[in-house]
């Protein structure tokens, strides 16, 4: 892959982000109706995702050296929102009384622990020719992606998050997937700037996302060595009602260290 | 304790609490179990011609691997419906020590080929033609579709009678790999002839 290709992909990603920002503004002023906005957002997210995919392919080998503990900690951090995300996915497609395979696969109470990765892959593959049913299996896809993510099979996780983003999900789901993509391109591929831009998209989709804010704080603090930049993000995380007292205590300790200009390590 | 470990531990608490609520129920298995005399017996070793080509293959060729044997026909609506699940499951398990064999039952070769070309051919599956019904008789096929599960020692461990799907196929393979008893499951009707 040449530097020219990387440059082209970065430009494509930047353009998609600009389009999304402009769309946000147009929607906030009522210049674009909801349906048009939804359609355009899906297109821009798809463009962004294609660019991210290309950039991810460029950097398959890890280019940053981080401790295993740091990597595992970060991976755990950004699964904070999974219960919320999967629950919400289920809420808008819920078919709890549906005994068909689609119904089972779309049920948010479906327990992936009873099935191997191969079984979940097979089930998702079997819906490829049925876009409507495929959409309903998003909870299963999200859970499979999480499983790959937690086992650090980032290439496989990335593919499933990409499919989720492409499916024009609810903003909170798009945000969760984008947050994980940001983590992958940062930790696995060492693309700090791209990771920052991606997590910004996650925050644009769901401004109240605690996990996106926390990941952005990590990227800013650890990836960009900018403790001052991390402070307002950590302050936002501390006041979130999505964390308990123990987590709040940890974030408070982070905040104290960042506020005093210390590094994150 | 390092800071990274602390963060991981805290997040694990949040995750486990959330997941416990969201995924608190379990997907159950089909309760319609029926006995099958073939369960627990060695799989029949019958050599059959490959569909649409030269050469032959037998179930013994796959010794040491789990083998899923699906018996189908182009004239069977349930076989059409389940075919994509067989293709996707074969591909998903291709690197997991599982082989798929599909045997055409009382079908004209040209119809079998047309069926496969229309609905999909998996490179991970061996397609055989039961030209004189020897395999169907040996397996005790009642109608189509039927799917048999053979362990890596060549013993028939399970059977699904009726139209299956990827989740059920995969779950059954998972159970077999874990050494669980499978038995027979009836998940739908089967057809014995095109006129049914």
Between strands B66-72 and B98-105, the pairing is: parallel
Digit-coded pLDDT (tens) for B157-184? 999 999 999 999 999 999 999 999 888 7
Structural domain includes residue A145 = yes
Q: Which of A24, A58, A92 is the last residue of a domain?
A: A58
Q: Which of A74, A108, A111 sits opposite B26 (nearest CB)?
A: A111
pLDDT greater than 70 at residue B196: no
- A89 in Cβ contact with A108 (< 8 Å): yes
pLDDT at A7: 62
What is the Cα–Cα distance from A57 to A55, expressed in whole angstroms? 5
Same domain, A179 and A106: yes
Same domain, A21 and A121: no
Same domain, A91 and A34: no
Which residues in B lie closer than 8 A to residue A118 (C-beta atoms)?
89, 92-93, 96, 170, 173-174
pLDDT at A56: 63
Digit-coded pLDDT (tens) for B100-113? 999 999 999 999 99
Same domain, A73 and A31: no
pLDDT greater than 80 at residue B117: yes
Same domain, A211 and A93: yes
Structural domain includes residue A140 = yes
Structure tokens at A56: 């991810």
User: Which of residues 90 through 129 in chain B touch A, CB cutoff 8 A?
Assistant: 91-93, 96
Structure tokens at B78: 């349930």
Q: Which of B6, B19, B170 sits opposite A250 (nearest CB)?
A: B6
Q: Is A153 on the interface with B (CB under 8 A)?
A: no
pLDDT at B75: 95
Task: Name the β-bridge partners of B67.
Answer: B99, B150
Element (H, E) at B102: strand B98-105
What is the Cα–Cα distance from B113 to B116, expressed in whole angstroms? 5
More confident site: B28 or A119: A119
What mean pLDDT do residues B86-110 have?
96
Chain A CA closest to residue B7? A73
- Judge: A101–B2 Cβ closer than 8 Å, yes or no: no
Same domain, A72 and A172: yes
Q: Which parts of chain A register pLDDT below 70?
A: 1-8, 55-110
Least Cα distance to B67 among B102, B116, B105, B112 occurs for B102
For chain B, the domains span: 37-186
- Domain limits for position A169: 59-259
pLDDT at A86: 39
Q: Which of A69, A113, A125 sits opposite B2 (nearest CB)?
A: A69
pLDDT at A108: 54
Q: What average pLDDT does the structure give for chain B?
A: 82
pLDDT at B53: 79
Compute how many other C-beta atoms are within 10 angstroms of the C-beta atom of residue A127.
23
- Judge: B92–A87 Cβ closer than 8 Å, yes or no: no
Q: Is A1 on the interface with B (CB under 8 A)?
A: no
Least Cα distance to B124 among B161, B163, B96, B155 occurs for B96
* Burial class of residue B64 (count of CB atoms within 10 Å of its CB; 0-12, 13-18, 19+): exposed
Total domains in the fold of chain A: 2
- Judge: B22–A108 Cβ closer than 8 Å, yes or no: yes
Same domain, A128 and A219: yes
CB pairs < 8 Å spanning A and B:
141
Same domain, A33 and A92: no
What is the Cα–Cα distance from A182 to A116, expressed in whole angstroms? 26
- B89 in Cβ contact with A122 (< 8 Å): yes
- B76 in Cβ contact with B145 (< 8 Å): yes
More confident site: B127 or A33: B127
Same domain, A45 and A168: no
3-class secondary-structure state, position A152: coil
User: Which of residues 149 through 188 in chain B touch A, CB cutoff 8 A?
Assistant: 165-171, 173-174, 177
Q: Which of B10, B11, B166 sits opposite A126 (nearest CB)?
A: B166
Digit-coded pLDDT (tens) for A201-246? 999 999 998 889 999 998 999 999 999 999 999 999 999 888 888 7
What is the Cα–Cα distance from B141 to B154, expressed in whole angstroms? 18
pLDDT category, B195, cuts 50, 70, 90?
low
Least Cα distance to A236 among A251, A221, A250 occurs for A251
Digit-coded pLDDT (tens) for B35-86? 578 899 999 998 999 998 789 999 999 989 999 999 999 999 999 999 999 9
Domain at B37-186: CATH architecture? 3-Layer(aba) Sandwich (3.40)
Chain A CA closest to residue B14? A80
- B108 in Cβ contact with B75 (< 8 Å): no
Structure tokens at A82: 């999974």
More confident site: B14 or B71: B71
More confident site: B9 or A257: A257
pLDDT at B26: 26
> What is the DSSP secondary structure assignment for residue A112, as one 8-state letter?
G
What is the Cα–Cα distance from B10 to A250, expressed in whole angstroms? 8
Structural domain includes residue A265 = no
Q: Is A120 on the interface with B (CB under 8 A)?
A: yes
- Judge: A122–B5 Cβ closer than 8 Å, yes or no: no
pLDDT at B107: 95
Chain A CA closest to residue B30? A99
What is the Cα–Cα distance from B194 to B115, expressed in whole angstroms? 14
pLDDT at B191: 81
- A140 in Cβ contact with A147 (< 8 Å): no
Which residues in B lie closer than 8 A to residue A73 (C-beta atoms)?
3-8, 11
Same domain, A161 and A110: yes
pLDDT at B98: 97
Residue entry with tokens 């608490």:
B13
- Judge: A264–B3 Cβ closer than 8 Å, yes or no: yes
């Amino acid at each position: 892959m040449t530097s020219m290709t990387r440059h082209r992909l970065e430009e494509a990603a930047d353009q998609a982000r600009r389009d999304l920002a402009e769309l946000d503004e147009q929607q906030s002023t009522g210049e674009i109706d909801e349906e048009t906005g939804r359609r355009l957002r899906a297109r821009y997210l798809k463009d962004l995702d294609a660019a991210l995919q290309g950039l991810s392919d460029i950097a398959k080998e890890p280019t940053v050296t981080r401790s295993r503990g740091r990597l595992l900690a970060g991976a755990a951090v950004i699964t904070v929102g999974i219960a919320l995300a999967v629950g919400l996915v289920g809420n808008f497609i819920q078919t709890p009384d549906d005994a068909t395979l689609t119904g089972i696969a779309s049920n948010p109470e479906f327990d992936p622990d009873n099935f191997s990765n191969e079984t979940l892959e097979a089930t998702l593959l079997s819906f490829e020719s049925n876009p409507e049913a495929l959409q309903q299996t998003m909870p299963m896809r999200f859970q499979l992606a999480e499983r790959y993510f937690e086992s650090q099979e980032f290439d496989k996780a990335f593919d499933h998050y990409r499919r989720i983003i492409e499916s024009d999900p609810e903003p909170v789901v798009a945000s969760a997937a984008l947050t994980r993509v940001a983590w992958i391109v940062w930790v696995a591929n060492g693309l700090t700037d791209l990771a920052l831009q991606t997590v910004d998209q996650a925050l644009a989709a769901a401004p109240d996302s605690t996990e996106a804010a926390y990941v952005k704080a990590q990227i800013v603090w650890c990836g960009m060595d900018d403790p001052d930049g991390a402070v307002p993000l950590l302050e936002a995380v501390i006041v979130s009602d999505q964390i308990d007292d123990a987590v709040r205590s940890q974030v408070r300790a982070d905040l104290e260290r960042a506020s005093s200009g210390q590094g994150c390590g | 304790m390092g800071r990274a470990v602390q963060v991981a531990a805290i997040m694990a608490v949040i995750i486990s609490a959330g997941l416990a609520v969201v995924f608190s129920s379990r997907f159950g298995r089909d309760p319609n179990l029926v006995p099958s005399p073939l369960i627990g017996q060695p799989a029949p070793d019958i050599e059959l011609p490959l569909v649409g080509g030269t050469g032959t293959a037998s179930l013994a060729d796959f010794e040491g691997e789990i083998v899923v044997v699906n018996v189908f026909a182009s004239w069977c609506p349930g076989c059409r419906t389940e075919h994509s699940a067989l293709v996707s499951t074969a591909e998903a398990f291709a690197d997991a020590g599982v082989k798929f064999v599909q045997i055409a039952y009382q079908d004209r070769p040209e119809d079998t080929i047309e069926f496969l070309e229309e609905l999909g051919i998996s490179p991970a599956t061996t397609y055989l033609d039961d030209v004189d019904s020897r395999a169907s008789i040996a397996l005790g096929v009642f109608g189509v579709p039927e799917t048999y599960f053979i362990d890596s020692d060549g013993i028939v461990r399970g059977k699904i009678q009726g139209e299956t799907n990827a989740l059920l196929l995969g779950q059954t393979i998972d159970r077999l790999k874990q050494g669980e008893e499978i038995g027979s499951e009836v998940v739908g009707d089967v057809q014995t002839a095109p006129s049914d």
